[in-house]
Structure 1
Amino acid sequence: MLSFLYSFIALLYGYALGSIPSGYIFTKHFTGQDIRTIGSGNIGATNALRTGNKVVAILTLLGDSLKGVLVILSLKILSFSQEALLLAGAAAVLGHIFPVWLNFKGGKGVATTFGVILVTSWPLGLLILGTWTFTAVIWRYSSLAAIVASASAPIWSLLFLDTSIAIWATFLALLVLFKHTDNINRLLAGKEPKIGASKPKSKMDKS
């Protein structure tokens, strides 16, 4: 019963912290704009960059990542079980993607997922970061790098960690892949913009 209670607390805590909309807060504070009315309407760092303010984009990226870091780190300090940590981490990513404060319309979860994984298992975090960097440098698609890095997490987990981490990483990867459906369709159609390319005049899909 006590174990269930701790897991439930971890779940609620993870979701609450993960649902803090960093991109919305920083965009509103520094530019006075509602990020949901800019570009794709997404609250993540990619769309925050479309405000024309690089500081906002950087702070959004850091804020989204730190949400994941703080969720896991604080519960580790309080000696929560690994099961509770994994639940809290997954809840943090869900909170970022479906924040209650913004009618459950949030970001794609990449930065928060990385923050959660990095503190849960720093070797796995570094492997994922390396995978993202390699993919981004070779093919120059940010979305493809995110997709490949997320999909690699369960594989790295099976190779170097344990089954429970692999199952957890698979769930996180599926969330990220689900939120990148539009990007996948554009990649297959050859219409996805590359890193550094000027954005098209028409309104872009969420990224």
Structure 2
Amino acid sequence: MTSAASWLDNENLWVVAVGILAFVGTLIGARAAWRAVHPRHRLLYGLMKPTPLLATGGIARENFSVTHGSRTLRNGHVLRIELTNLGRKDIVIPDDQSFSLALGDGVVALLDVSGQPGGRALPPVTVDGTSLKLGRGLVPSRHTIFLTVLMDNQWPRVHGLTATSALPDVVVAKGFAPDGTARRRLIKYVAVPAVLFLAGVWVGTR
């Protein structure tokens, strides 16, 4: 049996120690890189391709009309907006003056507000002229809010969407939520090799 003293004198102990330090250092570096890419408060907004209510091909459009209430829509289409909190913390919307999305002329109505994953309370959304305003509430972490808006203007020239934010410490940018590729690459190229290296060092000392 190997005594404690001989084990301490064994160079294998230092190999294991170096391996552990390398592994811990790798994890710390990976965590720091991940936090840099995904800050505590990060809000993305994106506009999907508009969906026209009347097809442009086939039967002539003048043979049909679309109405909303008493309003007849000449170029009616539906917009779908995604608002995603990619940060690690919930984003607090203190009032309806803190965050808005400008769509331009032609906003008819807000048709639907939903979230994914479900089961979370969402901040109220109201139409204010050419913009949508988020009211007081929370945008949960790792949560996407979907806004469905009815528009009446020249489609397909509708592609502008700008955000106005007065939210402190929140990074706001145009874009859509990633599909998890970055996290899978981090696990594949950093965490897994580090674990395999440490396992190899451990086996080599036996």
When normalised by structure 2's length, the TM-score is: 0.24
The structure whose RCO (Cα within 8 Å, separation 6+) is larger is 2
Select the structure that is richer in helix: 1
**For the pair shown, which has the larger CA radius of gyration, 1 or 2?**
2
With normalisation by structure 1, the TM-score equals 0.24
